[in-house]
Structure 1
Amino acid sequence: MDIKMEQSWKEVLKQEFSKPYFQQIVTFLKTEKLQKKIIYPPGSLIFNAFDQTPFHHLKVVILGQDPYHGAGQAHGLCFSVQDGVPPPPSLINIYKEIESDIGVGMPARYGNLTKWAQQGVLMLNAFLTVRANEPASHSKIGWEEFTNSVIKKISDEKKGVVFILWGKFAQEKQVLIDETKHYVLKAAHPSPFSADKGFFGCRHFSKTNELLMKQGIEPIDWKLP
C-alpha cells in the first residue's frame, strides 16, 4: 500500500507499519480491490491528514469517525469534502457554529478544509477507509488500533495540543490523552440529529485559539476561501 504521508509522521509511526494488525489492513484492502469493491477515499488520499499536517506543526486534533461513503466526497480529512462537492449537513452545522462563535461567514458551496489542515489541524477519522455506500464497512479491519496509536503518540510526544471531541464516539478517545499536558474540548456531534443538544454554542473555535495564544502559538484562521 502506498503510505503517502509527510516524512515526520513516517518516523513517529514507523513501528506501527510493521505490526501484524497493520499488515492485516493492507491485505484486507488489497483483497477488496481484487474483488472490484469501490473504496473511499482514493488510495493516494487515505493518509492525507498526515500529509497535510506534519507532526512537528500539529497544534489541534479534530476527531471524526468514518470517511464519507459517497462518490467524490472523502479525501482523507474528517468532515471535509473535495473541491466541487457541496458541504454535507454536519459540515454546514460546523459552519453555522463558526459564524456564531467568531463572526466569520462560511461559503455555502465549499467544503474543502485543507486550509485548516495546513495550519496544524490534524483532521483524523478513526477509520481511514470505507466501502462505497456502506457506512462503517471498514470499522473492524484494524484502523482503530492504528488511529488510537496516533492519538497516544501525539499525547506522549507533544505538549499543549487542543483535542476537539464531538460526540460520544470521539469522547471515548479521551482516555488516550494526557490532560496534564494537553487540552480537551468536548461537545455534541455536529450532525443534524445532535447539533442542537450541545454542539451549537460550544464556541470551540474561539476557545481553541484562546488556548493556542495562551501558549504563544499562532491561532488558526478558520476562514475559508
Structure 2
Amino acid sequence: MAARPLKEIMEPGWADALEPVAERIAAMGDFLRAEIAAGRTYLPSGANVLRAFQQPFEEVRVLVVGQDPYPTPGHAIGLSFAVAPDVRPLPGSLENIFRELHADLGLGRPSNGDLTPWTRQGVLLLNRALTTAPRRPAAHRGKGWEEVTEQAIKALVARGTPLVSVLWGRDARNLRPQLGDFPAIESSHPSPMSA
C-alpha cells in the first residue's frame, strides 16, 4: 500500500515541517501494518497515531514531551499523558500532573483526562514514540518514531517564535540540547513509579 501524502494525514504546517522525515513516517506506517498482519495490535488506534500533528504548527507555544503512549487498551489517544473522557480511573501519571497543577497553581481538577483543550491553547502533547504494543510499555521505542519527533522539535525551534518546553522523563530530557536557548522545565516522569 502506498503511503498517503503528509498533507492528507496531518495539518499542512506540520506536513511541511515533517517533510524531511516523510519516508520515516511511511516506514512506520509499513511497520504498523506489518504488526496488524502478524496478528499484533498497537496503541493508540490508527486514526490517533499522528493526532499530535493535527493542531496548527504555527500555534504551538508549549511543548510537553513524554515517553510513549499508555499501554492500557482504551487509554492512549495520541496526545501525551491524555486519555479519552470516559477513562476511569485516570492513569497515575495524569493524576500526578493534575495534583501538581493544583498544588503549584491552585487549579481545580478537570472533570476528565482528555487534554484536547490544552492543544487548543497552543500546547503540543508529544510522545517520543508515537505507538506501543498493548500492555507493553516502550515496545516501539527505537523503531523509528524518535526520528519523527526529533524533526518535529527541530522544526518548532527553527520557527524562532516563543516556545517553552516541559520535558518529563529521561527520554524527554535527552532532547534538551535540541531546544537551544528556548526555556525548558525538566523533571522526572510523572508516573507513580518515578515521581
The offset of 1:126, in angstroms, is 0.5
Return structure 1 stretches of 4+ with deviation > 6 angstroms.
none
1:6 paired to 2:11? yes
The one-letter code of the counterpart of 2:20 is Q
Encode CA deviations 1:21-49: one digit per residue, 9 max, x unaligned.
33332221111111121111111111111
Which residue does the alignment assign to 2:173? 171
Listed as ranges, the matches of 1:6-155 within 5 Å are 6-17=11-22, 19=23, 21-51=24-54, 53-86=55-88, 87-107=90-110, 110-155=112-157
Number of residue-to-residue matches in the alignment? 189
The offset of 1:157, in angstroms, is 1.8
The one-letter code of the counterpart of 1:39 is Y
Q: Verify the 8 A CA contact 1:162 1:184 in the aligned structure 2.
A: yes
Counterparts of 2:173 and 2:123, CA distance in 1? 18
Q: Verify the 8 A CA contact 2:67 2:169 in the aligned structure 1.
A: no
Which structure 2 residue ranges, 5 or more long, are not aligned?
Answer: none
Q: Verify the 8 A CA contact 1:156 1:178 in the aligned structure 2.
A: no
The offset of 1:8, in angstroms, is 1.4
Q: Verify the 8 A CA contact 2:13 2:56 in the aligned structure 1.
A: yes
The offset of 1:140, in angstroms, is 2.1
TM-score after normalising by structure 1: 0.79
Calculate percent identity across the aligned residue pairs.
37
Which residue does the alignment assign to 1:183? 183
Counterparts of 1:154 and 1:82, CA distance in 2? 27
- Calculate the aligned-residue CA RMSD, in Å: 1.5
Q: Verify the 8 A CA contact 1:83 1:110 in the aligned structure 2.
A: yes
The one-letter code of the counterpart of 2:133 is R
TM-score after normalising by structure 2: 0.91
Counterparts of 1:131 and 1:43, CA distance in 2? 13
Q: Verify the 8 A CA contact 1:63 1:123 in the aligned structure 2.
A: yes
Which residue does the alignment assign to 1:193? 193
Which structure 1 residue ranges, 5 or more long, are not aligned?
Answer: 196-225
Counterparts of 1:48 and 1:158, CA distance in 2? 24
Q: Verify the 8 A CA contact 2:65 2:166 in the aligned structure 1.
A: yes
Q: Verify the 8 A CA contact 1:160 1:183 in the aligned structure 2.
A: no
Which fold has the larger relative contact order, with Cα–Cα distance below 8 Å and residues 6 or more apart in sequence?
2
Counterparts of 2:165 and 2:117, CA distance in 1? 18
The one-letter code of the counterpart of 1:187 is S
SS class of match (1:122): strand
SS class of match (1:131): coil
Q: Verify the 8 A CA contact 1:5 1:50 in the aligned structure 2.
A: yes
SS class of match (2:130): coil
